[in-house]
Structure 1
Amino acid sequence: MRYLFTAVLALVFCVAEAQTDFNARDLSISWQAVQNDYQNKPNRSLQAIVITNNGHTALPASGWKLYFNSARTIEPQTVAGNAKIELVNGDLFTLTPTEGFKGIKAGDSTRVEIIGDEPVVNISDTPEGFYLVWDAHPEKGLPTGKFTIKPFKPNYVGLYTPEVIYQQNKSIQDVPESQLTKVFPTPIAYQENGGFFTIDDKTSISASSEFKNEAGYLITELQSLGVKLSSVKIKKIINLKMVAGMDNEAYELVIDPQSITISASKPAGVFYGIQSLKTLMSPTVWAAQHKPIQLPCVEVKDGPRFPYRAFLLDVGRNFQTKAQVLKLLDAMALYKLNTFHFHLTDDEGWRLALPSLPELTEVGSQRGHTLDSKQHLPPSHGSGAETGKLAGSGFYSRADYIEILKYAAARHIAVVPEIEAPGHARSAIKAMDARYTRLMAEGNKAEAEKYLLRDLNDQSQYASVQYWHDNVIDVSLPSTYNFVETVINDIIGLYKEAGAPLATINFGGDEVPPHVWEKSPAYLALKATHPEIKETGDLWYYFYGKVNQALKAKGLYLSGWEEIGLRKTTIDGATAYVPNPDFEPEHFQTEVWNNTIGGGQEDLAYKLANGGYHVVLTSVTHLYLDMAHYKSFDEPGYYWGAFVDIDKPFSFIPYDYFKNTTVDKNGIPINKSIFIGKQRLTDYGKTNIMGIQGALWGENIHDGQRMEYMIFPSILGIAERAWAKNPEWATEKDTTQSKQLYQTAWVNFLNIIGKRELPRLDYYHTGYNYRIPKPGVSVQDGRYVVNEQFPGLMIRYTTDGTEPDAKSKIYKGDLSRKETNVKFKAFNSAGRGSNTSEPVQNANSTL
């Protein structure tokens, strides 16, 4: 026994000594997908985590855990039994060594094979954000060293190989730039008349007094291009002219050799005329200062199809800097989008500083290792052990937000703040817990409880879609409505100080899981005094009725996700959701994302619009830009709702998106019979379609570069559908004729994007990191034939296995199949390249 005690004591001493000497950054970790269909089960994948000790001290066999994030669930038992996996909360997991783990000597590696509950499709399926925690110091997270992802070549249906891409691109013809419409998005009427107007230092501006701000904006834009206008009014003039009777955002633009005239009734119309003037300019003017600037003589009559043309940016999951937001607003303004939906809060972060509740950002804006979320939130989406690091941590100060509001207002963009409730609210809940703890310690119980968002005695057990078990506000508590009222007042104060318009606050409403509130004493007490509340589902109407009244009292209307307009019921014994007649007279604005093909709710947006709700189409199948562009391991993004390349928003038919929906969420052709019995949009329903909205959710958006990669150029497809008139191909009843009309429009669109808008985005406002599609490659008649989605990009190649760069050989159609080890990339005008295409055989096996 004495020897056993001595051995145990020695082991404890060795582990403690290792904790002192061992540097966690000496651990490098690599991940690889090994096999889908593991053990012949279609929803399982075998993956390997390889831990390498690059230091001089051994990592002991026990006494530690690795924490990491994974958007995909993982089975607890590893294949070799040398570790166990546990879900902590949300997407945070731990890997704990078991008795089968032998420790890792200096210079050695250990392989831990794990089993995923879903197949691996792309790089966004990887775990991320690894860090080490010693058992003796569970409160301290230690960042590990380099993390690498090993390439995976999956073999499944729908895989986009270079051959598949080639076949998809082969119908895209080159259209001479002289034949392209040079105003984008496509105007109602456009005519080129020959000749040019030259903007130079002999040009002056004349503007109606109502358009003074727009004139100042135009002067600033031209100065940024090196053009200094004349301060004396002379014959060559840019005239911003007031003309009564036009719609708010409509304008007319006439350019002749002596003048430019933009006519409008409202400042927004003049502003959009200026944006059209900018897209008429050669894209190269942003590459270097050009003076003078030559513009073609044109006549344009224009106005938007929809009044609500929006883009949503989620900064709750991963934060984006103020500079990145302003840059996005610049692009939105250029392409005539007028609403910025700012998703400011979620389970993983609260990003807006409010003066009345400082804990919201003190606690809710920071992520790092924690055991209790009392001082900050836990790591999510790979944010790691340390607080204060982008993109897990960060917030907008009062001054930041006011600057954003002013910047947006000057560009005729309304900023709609979203405050998630009652679900997706963990950041707010934990922040108010911290406030409660602080004030209770001060002996101020009444003030401590004033904004509490959960019943401290609630024993309800639930799990959200994202695996959180404590992320839903208790709407039975009076303190919840104190919180809502205070948040509304503080937000209104910010907009007033900025002088920016505020018509609505989006209060979320999506993805509240089953079983919330069931064991909440506050719910049981409320149920006893409110006979209309018979079950927890009835709290939905109670909550949004009160939130609606709070907003109406301030002159605002309520907007939220589709669930705010739905009532839970049963049809033939099955749960179903129908438009809630109680709220229909209030005309809530519902933003409807769920039209997942095959999910059963394909017609949900049309049901709500036909039922009297104002609807903003935010359809996941066509408008979610965080979805991967297509099924390929090197394409980042989620894919649970669809794969979304630029063709999806361009082909979207707002009034009948069933018409040209041909594939399911996995890209597999569908049987159109699934639309039988689905509601079609009535003429009354059409009057309730406010517009369309693109969305970028932030889970896998770790920096501004990735943000821009996912948004651009697909946002241009959204801009086209939101602004341009209803295209002929969308209403043509003859299927063959409709397809022909669509193909012509599609090819013209791609030529405009490739030859005019992508070169503009290379340098416009410091340039955007838009996605450059990889080339399609096929082998035909003994040679490689290569094409590209966007005419105007340059294809380069190597034949020695190295990665092509901006100096590699230009592909001219003469490359023999005898060349081996060939790689192709597409390059833009700035010399930036796409992902690599390597000729391979198409896969025919299934996933």
Structure 2
Amino acid sequence: MADLLPRPVSAEPLPGSFTLSPGDPVRGPADLADAVRRALPTLDLRPAGTEAGAEGHGVPEAAVTVERDPALGPEAYRLEVTERGVRIAAAQEAGAFYAGQTLRQLLPDAAFRAVRAGGRVPAVRIEDAPRFSWRGAHLDVARHFLPKREVLRMVDLMAAHKLNRLHLHLVDDQGWRIESRAYPRLHEVGSHRARTVTSHYGEEPAFDGTPHGGCYTLDDLAEIAAYARDRAVTVVPEIDVPGHASAILAAYPELDARATGGRAPEPFTVLDRWGISPAILSPLPPTVDFLTTVLDELLGALGATPYVHIGGDECVLDEWAASAEITAYGEELGLAGPGELHAWFLRRLADVLAERGSRAVVWDEAFVSGALRPDTVVMPWRGPGVARRAAAAGYDVVQTPVFPLYFDYAEAASADEPLAIGEAITVADVAGFAPAPPEWSEEEAGRVLGAQFQLWSERLPDGRAVDYRAWPRGCALAEVVWSGSADPSFAARLERHLRRLDALGVEYRPPAGPRPWQRGGTGPRRHRPGAVRAGEVMRRLEEMTHAADSTRPST
């Protein structure tokens, strides 16, 4: 069908149509039927059961019939609409849920509003399955906290686009966002800062003078994870260590690398500005024990969690090199300097996670530092060069390059845009992205799990700003990771799809540019065109990582 997004593998129009009404019956295995119902909340489909009719003439007809087909993949489905009704086949709940999402797009746009609504569905036969297993969105709630309702709303929007990994960046210099019952000062002290920087790079620092903060209770995280699972979304929590540690060290300064060897440093505070901080945890055993306890709390709240991100990026290792105690510890482990100790520290945490049934995920600096656990997933934010080297070394890769997947960059080099770190990353740039480039070998391409867009929140203070940056560029990535690429029909399908976003109340950036109230204006939210170009940033990062990788120990 011409207006489905993301594009299915195959869609064959059939003659006729079928009308679905609120309260219509759905029949099939309970788990699959319930998944279809969750995908279509405005239809309020009612379970019809599987019992025979009163006269013994078999099971009566249902408007929607779901059947299990074990031959299909875990996220694959078949959907057939005829004049007699709707038939869905899936092997697992995720496939049934995605069939329901496709059926939702076949309905009138009212199916995306919070009202009971049905309508005519054109007859069609669809066979579908995703190209990539990791189809994600990264949401930074550390720099600017987003209340739980915004996280749940992001889950809903991801589900509507068949995105299935919500990477929650929960910890950074500017805030710790998780309740800890074992170490309560983490949320009591680390969850808020006294003020936030408002000046641009290169300017005299200026601050808003307004406290900012918030955290999720363990019960909140359990709720978020359960809500996401019901919508075929896996939460990937991130505790970014050993760098980006100002908020942790403000709460527990004894973990500071500077506190080793009897030193008494000036304590860190929760950071009130952006950029790379020198704050870094000690890699000594008490830190590993501390983080193990915190990870156990997190995993206990989230339940079965296949992936946990442990960061590893932008670590300033000077204090490790300056500490005689840390240096001696590294030598005792047989490691040649802070770089290898950095990789060892992350591998130790990955071992802890593996013992609990989770795989570690890291940013690409961890790969460049040294050998990781073989099952570690690498997110190469610094470009295709380091991504390919990680894949060639045998690591699974989730593509996260600055260009074109950092959505904190503006969509145009225009003073009309609201504040952004730089520009320009367009919908067309995202639609043209290839997660597994054709020049890669078959083995390298096979290591690409998928891709995700990044919403770093230094310049995203609230849900409205997140909406503006995420969509419709997120629609383009959804197309790429589900369908494998965006075909020539994508622009027309996106134009039609925007009406669904309107019905959902998404405050996206219109293709023609921001609405008057979305502009940056002349105040602190103004954007300065030409300050930072995403493509140039990528070029420089590629040069840096190539130089670093040339000195990386062999795996």
Cα distance between partner residues in 2 of 1:201 and 1:474: 58
Q: TM-score, normalised by structure 2?
A: 0.83
Q: Partner letter of residue 455 of structure 1?
A: A
1:691 has 2:472 as partner? no
Q: Does 1:556 align with 2:358?
A: yes
Alignment correspondent of 1:754: 495
SS in structure 2 at match of 1:305? coil
- Code of the residue aligned with 1:716 in structure 2: it is C
Q: Distance in 1 between matches of 2:299 and 2:117?
A: 44
The equivalent of 1:494 in structure 2 is 301
For the residues of structure 2 that align with 1:454 and 1:293, how far apart are their CA atoms? 65
Whole-Å separation in 1 of the counterparts to 2:433 and 2:66: 34
Shift of 1:515: 2.4
Rg larger in structure: 1
Say if 2:289 is the partner of 1:474.
no
Instruction: Tell me whether 1:771 sits opposite 2:530 in the alignment.
Output: no
The one-letter code matched in structure 2 to 1:320 is L
1:516 aligns with 2:319: yes
User: 1:315 pairs with 132, 141, 145, which one?
Assistant: 141
Q: 1:540 to 1:762 in 2, by over 3 A?
A: same
Q: Aligned partners of 2:403 and 2:276: how far apart in 1?
A: 25
Write out per-residue CA displacement over residues 240-281 of structure 1, whole angstroms, 9 at most, x where no aligned residue: 111121111100000001110110111111111001011111
What is the aligned counterpart of 1:191 among 4, 8, 12? Answer: 12
Shift of 1:282: 1.8
Q: Give the whole-Å Cα distance in 1 for the aligned partners of 2:240 and 2:491.
A: 37
Task: Determine whether 1:651 maps to 2:432.
Answer: yes
Could you list the per-position Cα deviations for residues 388-422 of structure 1 after superposition, in whole angstroms to 9, with x for gaps in the alignment?
xxxx3111112211111110010111101000011
Q: What's the counterpart of residue 485 of structure 1?
A: 292
CA distance in 2, matches of 1:205, 1:545: 48
- CA distance 1:458–1:527, change in 2 (3 Å): farther
Evaluate the alpha carbon distance shift between residue 603 and residue 285 of structure 1 in structure 2; reply closer, same or farther with a 3 A threshold. Answer: same
Question: Are residue 546 (structure 1) and residue 348 (structure 2) matched?
Answer: yes
Give the structure 1 partner of residue 179 of structure 2: 353
User: Following TM superposition, by how much is the alpha carbon of 1:473 offset from its aligned partner in structure 2, in angstroms?
Assistant: 1.2
Q: For residue 547 of structure 1, what is the amino acid of its counterpart?
A: L
CA distance in 2, matches of 1:834, 1:699: 17
State the partner residue of 1:660. none
Which residue identity lines up with residue 645 of structure 1 in the other structure? Answer: T
Partner secondary structure for residue 222 of structure 1: coil
Aligned pairs (5 A) from 1:244-259: 244-259=70-85
CA distance, structure 2, for counterparts of residue 229 and residue 491 of structure 1: 35
Q: Is residue 621 from structure 1 mapped to residue 362 from structure 2 by the alignment?
A: no
In structure 1, give the amino acid aligned to 2:465: R
Secondary structure (helix, strand or coil) at the match of 1:419 reads strand
Output the CA distance in 1 between the equivalents of 2:3 and 2:90.
Answer: 20
> Is contact 2:90–2:96 with CA below 8 Å preserved after alignment?
yes
Secondary structure in 1 matching 2:17: strand
Structure number with higher helix proportion: 2
What is the CA deviation profile of residues 606-661 of structure 1, one whole-angstrom value per residue up to 9, with x for unaligned ones? 11111111100011111111111121122135455x5211111111012228xxxx
Contact 1:313 1:695 in 2 (8 A): yes
* Amino acid aligned to 2:455: L
Contact 2:111 2:118 in 1 (8 A): no
**Cα distance in 1, alignment partners of residues 105 and 517 from structure 2:** 24
Distance 2:520 2:465 in 1: 17
- SS of residue paired to 1:654: coil
Deviation of 1:353 (Å): 0.8
Secondary structure of 2:149's counterpart equals helix
Secondary structure, aligned partner of 1:455: helix
Which of 298, 306, 310 is matched with 1:503 structurally?
A: 306
- Contact residue 453 and residue 480 of structure 1 kept, 8 A: no
Q: Give the Å deviation of 1:715.
A: 0.3
2:413 and 2:354 map into 1 onto residues whose CA distance is 45
How far residue 558 of structure 1 moved from its aligned partner, in angstroms, is 1.5
CA–CA separation in structure 1 for the residues paired with 2:451 and 2:276 = 30
Q: Does 1:592 align with 2:380?
A: yes
Q: Which amino acid is 1:694 matched to?
A: F
Match of 1:37 in 2: none
Amino acid at match of 1:206: R
Residues 16, 122 of structure 2: 8 Å contact kept:
yes
Partner of 1:681: 440
The letter for the 2-side match of 1:544 is: L
- 2:65 partner letter: N
- Is the CA contact 2:374–2:394 (under 8 Å) kept in the aligned structure 1? no
Which consecutive residues of structure 1, in runs of 5 or more, have no partner in the other structure? 1-179, 370-377, 434-448, 568-579, 596-601, 658-679, 728-744, 776-824, 827-831, 838-842
**3-state DSSP of counterpart to 2:121:** strand
Q: Which residue of 2 aligns with 1:710?
A: 469
Q: Could you tell me how far 1:192 is from its partner in structure 2?
A: 1.3
What secondary structure sits across from 1:268 in the alignment? helix
Aligned-partner residue type, residue 631 of structure 1 = A
Please give the alpha-carbon distance, in whole angstroms, between the structure 2 residues aligned to 1:267 and 1:380.
Answer: 46
Task: Tell me how far apart the structure 2 counterparts of residues 348 and 220 of structure 1 sit (CA, whole Å).
Answer: 37
Give the 3 Å change call, closer, same or farther, for CA 563–836 of structure 1 in structure 2.
Answer: closer
Identify unmatched segments of 5+ residues in structure 2: 54-58, 200-205, 522-528, 534-555
Partner of 1:238: 64
Determine helix, strand or coil for the equivalent of 1:723.
Answer: helix
The residue aligned with 2:35 is 214
Aligned to 1:609: 391
- Name the CA distance, whole Å, in 1 between partners of 2:13 and 2:156: 27
Which string of whole-angstrom CA distances, capped at 9 and with x for unpartnered residues, describes residues 486-540 of structure 1?
Answer: 11211121123xxxx301211101111352322224313324534x233222221
Q: 1:189 to 1:604 in 2, by over 3 A?
A: same
Contact 2:32 2:66 in 1 (8 A): yes
Q: Distance in 2 between matches of 1:751 and 1:720?
A: 13
Q: Structure 1 residue 430 and structure 2 residue 430: aligned? A: no
Report the CA distance shift for 1:473/1:452 in structure 2 as closer, same or farther (over 3 A): closer
- CA–CA distance in 2 between the matches of 1:291 and 1:351? 38
Per the alignment, do residues 547 and 454 of structure 1 end up closer, same or farther by CA in structure 2, a change over 3 Å counting? farther
Percent identical pairs in the alignment equals 27
Q: For 1:439-462, what per-residue CA distance to the aligned partner results, in whole angstroms no more than 9, with x for missing partners?
A: xxxxxxxxxx5x66652555999x
Distance in 1 of aligned mates of 2:215 and 2:18: 46
SS in 1 for 2:70: coil
Greater per-residue strand proportion: 1
What is the CA-CA distance between 1:318 and the residue it aligns to?
A: 0.5
Instruction: Tell me if the contact between 1:219 and 1:229 (Cα under 8 Å) persists in the aligned partners.
Output: no
Structure 1 SS opposite 2:192: coil
Say if 1:228 and 1:307 are closer, same or farther in 2 by CA, change over 3 A: closer
- Write the distance in 1 (CA, Å) between the matches of 2:89 and 2:3: 19
Q: How many residues align?
A: 505
Letter in 2 for 1:626: D
Deviation by residue 1:719-763 (Cα, 9 ceiling, x = unmatched): 000001456xxxxxxxxxxxxxxxxx34x22221222x2111112
SS at match of 2:18: strand
